[in-house]
Structure formats: structure tokens, C-alpha cells
Structure 1
Amino acid sequence: MSRPSSRSPSGRDGLPVTIVHACLREGRGGSPTAVVDEASAAGTGRPLTDEERRRVPALAGTSHAVFLSDGRGPVGGGDEPPAAPARFFTTEGELPACGHGTVAALAFLAARADHGEYRAGLRVSGRAVEGRAVPGAPTSFDVTFGTGPVRLREPTQEELALLLPLLGLPAAAGPGARVATLGRPRLLVPVTTRSALASLSPSPGPLAAACDRLGLLGCFVHSPGPTTARVAARMFAPSIGVTEDIVNVNSSACLAAHLLARHGTPRIDVDMGDALGRPSTVTAGARRGLAGLPVDVTGVAKLGQVLRLPR
């Protein structure tokens, strides 16, 4: 397998960071995600602090970064796949989970293993996330992993009254909205057309303040696509330092769970990133479980350049 290219803006002794483009659509776009193997980083000096981890996304030009305690992952006993502790950061701080960061991390681990289909696990916020990565085009992988169960509820009137005007949406959008929790809660809001979705331009400051007040990650606005199994979406999450996410895998999983519960739709393709010039797609298939609605998600990831960043 060919290896990603490398450049060293801060010299040969900088922090090694691999850029992985997560959830490409037809080989293009995707969300650039910084992946750091902290075992390799240890060779550049003392262990990273959380403040240094927060700086990596800005230095790498990405919205998110994932930090693996051991980039190769310790091998479990029996039939257990390798596992690696993973932590996710934006410039605002640590996240309990990150779907496209998980896609990026699994592709990174598969490239390191370099032996065809790769089964692996991540330890995220105290729970195991198992997935697999299948090689595709050079340095690309089809990555699938299972989320935890999604919980759904009706939004409160306070939530709708605060958030819908900030999104520039009418109160009529309220009846189809849901609050979905996967790691953290977020508001799912439908709009009727893709043109209405494309026209949204919420102000980050007020939206961040409202989401912080309500304890929400952000707002995931979606619209119907050409078929009932394909939708378009945009994720606004300024309270975690991301004005608009190129792709949001966990919110796509939340939407899949909602559409299964409401309409019986078992599988969807979610197109995101078009407003940002980074076309991205997530496939999400939900099923009914004992404690909620677990979802399997799939995205294509491609390894990019390796940077050397200052610490």
C-alpha cells in the first residue's frame, strides 16, 4: 500500500499528525481530521497536555482531532479485535465521542496494519466501539462501526422557542423536530427542501449560547432527498467550536434511528458538506434494540498528508 505524503512545516522534530479525509462522496470531499498516534508523539518529548491537544485542530487546519494512546492497538485475547484508547478534541475541548473521528481513526489503524480487511476496536469514554476497515482505492478504506443506542424524545417548547428563530426557521418546523442523544443530545430539525436547507446561515454566537443554556451539542437540520432513503443535512455546533460541521456521523446515526422509529426506514444515505465545498456522505442503518436504537454507520476514509506540527 502506498503511504501518505509528508511535509514538515515545523521541522523534523515536530508532532506527527496524519490528516484523514473522512466520509468522502464518490472519492471527493470528506472531513479532514487530524489523527495523532500518541505513542509516536512520545518520541518528540513529554506527553501531550490537553491544552496542546486543543491546539492541534487549528494548527492542522481541521475541525477535530483524534488522539490514539497506541496507534497500533493492543491485541485482545481470543477473538477480540485490537483496541486503542481514543480521545477526541476540538479547539473548545474534549468530546465524549466523534463519529467521523472514529471513521478516521479506524482507517488510520487499518493503514498501519497493512494486511487487507482490518477489524479493530476503540475505547471511547469507557466503552468499546468495534469496527472494520476494508481497503478500497489506494490509501482509502470503507469503514463501518456500530454506535451505541440512540435515545429519542420530543423537544420542549423552550428548546423550540430558543433555537428555531436562531436557525431562521418558522415555528411550523417544530412538530417534526426531535431531540436525539448519542453521547450528547442534539436537536434534529426537518426542512421541506434542499434549497431551504442551503439558505440557512445562523449566527454562531447566539446559537452557541442557546445550545449551552439547553445542554445541547447543536442543531442537525435535514431535508428530503431524491428518494426517501437519501437525505441532505447540515450540522451547526458552534458551542463546541464548530460553526458548521462538514460531516457529522453521530447525528446521521441519530437521524437514522428517528426515521426508523417514525417511518420504518431502516437505512439512509446522508449527504453533508456541500455548503462548505466538501461533499461528504454517511450511510446509516438502524435497528431496534433492548435499550434504544443502535445504528451501524459506514463512511469512506482516505489518508492524506502527514504534518509535523509545533508543540
Structure 2
Amino acid sequence: MSVSIVHACLRDGHGGSPTAVLPEGAFTDDERRAVPAAWGTSHAVFVSERHGDVSLRFFTAEGELPACGHGTVAALAVLADRSGQPEYATTLHAGGRSFAGRAVRRAEGLQASFDPGPVTLREATVPERELILPLFPTLAGPPVVASVGRPRMLIPVPTRADLAALAPDQDRLREACDRLGLLGCYVHTVPTADGRAAARMFAPSIGVPEDIANANSTACLAGHLSRRGFTTLTVDMGDSLSSPSSVTATAETGPAGVRVDVGGFATLATG
């Protein structure tokens, strides 16, 4: 099994989310689910290249995901590294959609970004608030439910200290998310004027008690904050897991709605 371990969404050249990237093959789903634990990662990405098309499948120990943001960053880094080109661009296929992905070689690694698709937003319902919010008692505003394929709750807290102090009951959170059909809870600080924030993503329902980096949820936050005039966003994650990470996103509003681009730096540890 040829596996590349990619540290996706590094911050200042350090940390990042270790992600297993490997060529598609004749694997059973059980074998795919076993890859993250075998290689010490939270996610695995299976990459298929055929006639110029690139398809991605994402797995955790719990099963397949329709999308994975930092997994997409990791796959783009591997593809760009193998191309040997200073700039790489392709069309990716995953979760029933096709989208643009790109990577640029920098001194500190590969800067990868992609189009996560349209962001849908709505207010959290009363049952959602009643089940979820008791696990996150310090709020800086109303939560929203956002999706780029699967819904997750965005929960604002006032400060980084409030964020660092969180220790939600994972069993209760999983039960609530399973009942509500939520991917998880993305808890974030109020961004500064220049669009800097911090976040933690809790997703026990997919076998990830806390994600080191979560690009798709950051894309959701960028779409949400674009309504308040934010066009760029940098979100720090992973500090509570001793693996500092950063995800960047831009949002543009046009006739078709809000278009988000999200990504981060990545380096290949093995290949």
C-alpha cells in the first residue's frame, strides 16, 4: 500500500492535520476504514486518476464522507508534488460534484485551495438549540446551521480563552448530532476586524472527537460572515491538540450568490 502522509493546513510551517493519501485500489470499505488508525490519522483520502480526471473518496474509522476539506488540501498537495510543476490546477470529482482545485509551490510548502461548493445557511431550530447549546454554555451570539454537503452547527464564543476551556461531553454530543443529522459543531471566536478567528470542530458522529483542521466548516463560516462584510478569513485550529493549524478562506458575493474559496498550506511527510 503506497501511502503519503500529508500535514494539511499548517500554521507558519508547523502542525497541520496528518492525512493519509493513497491511490485508489480494490479495497473493501472495511479496509478503507482501517487506514486512518493504521497510519495515525483522522482521515484517509483515496485518489483515482484516469484520463486526466481526478476523483476523491474520503474515509474515517466510522465510514465514508461525501467531502473533507483538509483531505482535499492533502490530495491536491500530493498531486501537485507529483506533477513537478510550480503551479498545478485540476478538476476534482467527489461527493457527486465536480469542482476546481489548485496548488502553488511556495518556500514553506504547497498552498492548496479549492471551491467547496455553495454554502447554505439557516437559523438553528429550537430542538437543535435545546440539544446542543447546553454543551456549549458560553455564547457570543445565536448559532446557525451551515452546509456544503452535510449540515453542521456554527457556534460563536466571545474569546479564545472561552474556546480553549471547552470540554463538551462527547457521548451526549454524538447522541445529539446523530438525532439531529448534524455532522458536528464548529465552535469559533468572534473574528477580529481583519478576519482572524480561532475555532474547534467537534465531530464524534464521524469518529473524530475533535478535528485538527476543518476546511469545509471554515468555508461555511466564511459564507456566513460574508453577510457582515468579511471577504477574507483566517481561522486558527488545532491548538488544543498540540498541532497548530490555520485555514484560509475568501468570499465573493456575485449575481449567483456567495462564492467561497478555501485552503491552506501542506507538506508531505512521506511519499
Q: Once superposed, what is the RMSD of the aligned Cα atoms?
A: 1.5
Select 1:223's aligned residue among 189, 192, 198: 189
1:25 paired with 2:2, answer no
Equivalent residue of 1:284, what SS?
strand
1:67 paired with 2:33, answer no
Taking the aligned partners of 2:154 and 2:255, their CA distance within structure 1 comes to: 23
Select 1:200's aligned residue among 166, 169, 177: 166
Structure 1 gap ranges (5+): 1-14, 76-82, 307-311
Tell me if structure 2 keeps the 8 A contact 1:252–1:270. yes
Equivalent residue of 1:112, what SS?
helix
Within 5 Å, give how 1:88-99 maps onto structure 2.
88-99=58-69
CA offsets per residue over residues 127-170 of structure 1, 9 Å max, x none? 112111111137x2011211201000000111011001123x15
Tell me if structure 2 keeps the 8 A contact 1:149–1:289. no
Taking the aligned partners of 2:155 and 2:123, their CA distance within structure 1 comes to: 11
Equivalent residue of 1:159, what SS?
helix
Taking the aligned partners of 1:74 and 1:226, their CA distance within structure 2 comes to: 45
Taking the aligned partners of 1:151 and 1:288, their CA distance within structure 2 comes to: 14
Tell me if structure 2 keeps the 8 A contact 1:186–1:216. yes
Taking the aligned partners of 1:284 and 1:36, their CA distance within structure 2 comes to: 26
Taking the aligned partners of 2:159 and 2:47, their CA distance within structure 1 comes to: 40
- Aligned AA (2:185): C
Residue 121 of structure 1 deviates from its aligned partner by 2.0
Taking the aligned partners of 1:158 and 1:298, their CA distance within structure 2 comes to: 33
Equivalent residue of 1:29, what SS?
coil
Q: Which residue does 1:34 correspond to in 2?
A: 20
Q: Which residue does 1:232 correspond to in 2?
A: 198
Q: Which residue does 1:303 correspond to in 2?
A: 268
Q: Which residue does 2:126 correspond to in 1?
A: 157
- Aligned AA (2:128): E
Q: Which residue does 2:75 correspond to in 1?
A: 105
Structure 2 gap ranges (5+): none
- Aligned AA (2:188): H
Taking the aligned partners of 1:180 and 1:243, their CA distance within structure 2 comes to: 19
Residue 291 of structure 1 deviates from its aligned partner by 5.5
Q: Which moved more, 1:196-205 or 1:120-129?
A: 120-129
Equivalent residue of 1:188, what SS?
strand
Taking the aligned partners of 1:292 and 1:213, their CA distance within structure 2 comes to: 31
- Aligned AA (1:18): S
Q: Which runs of 4+ in 1 moved over 6 A?
A: none
Equivalent residue of 1:301, what SS?
strand
1:54 paired with 2:33, answer yes
Residue 95 of structure 1 deviates from its aligned partner by 0.3
Select 1:266's aligned residue among 221, 226, 231: 231
Q: Which structure's CA Rg is the greater one?
A: 1
Taking the aligned partners of 1:162 and 1:289, their CA distance within structure 2 comes to: 36
- Aligned AA (1:37): P
Residue 204 of structure 1 deviates from its aligned partner by 1.3
For these two proteins, the number of residue pairs brought into alignment is 271
- Aligned AA (2:54): A
Tell me if structure 1 keeps the 8 A contact 2:77–2:110. yes
Identity of aligned residues (%): 57
Equivalent residue of 2:253, what SS?
coil
Tell me if structure 1 keeps the 8 A contact 2:223–2:251. yes
Residue 215 of structure 1 deviates from its aligned partner by 0.4
Within 5 Å, give how 1:133-172 maps onto structure 2.
133-137=103-107, 140-167=109-136, 169-170=137-138
Taking the aligned partners of 1:48 and 1:106, their CA distance within structure 2 comes to: 22
Q: Which residue does 1:118 correspond to in 2?
A: 88
Select 1:185's aligned residue among 146, 151, 155: 151
- Aligned AA (2:247): V
Q: Which residue does 1:286 correspond to in 2?
A: 251
- Aligned AA (1:74): H
Taking the aligned partners of 1:301 and 1:176, their CA distance within structure 2 comes to: 33
Q: Which residue does 1:210 correspond to in 2?
A: 176
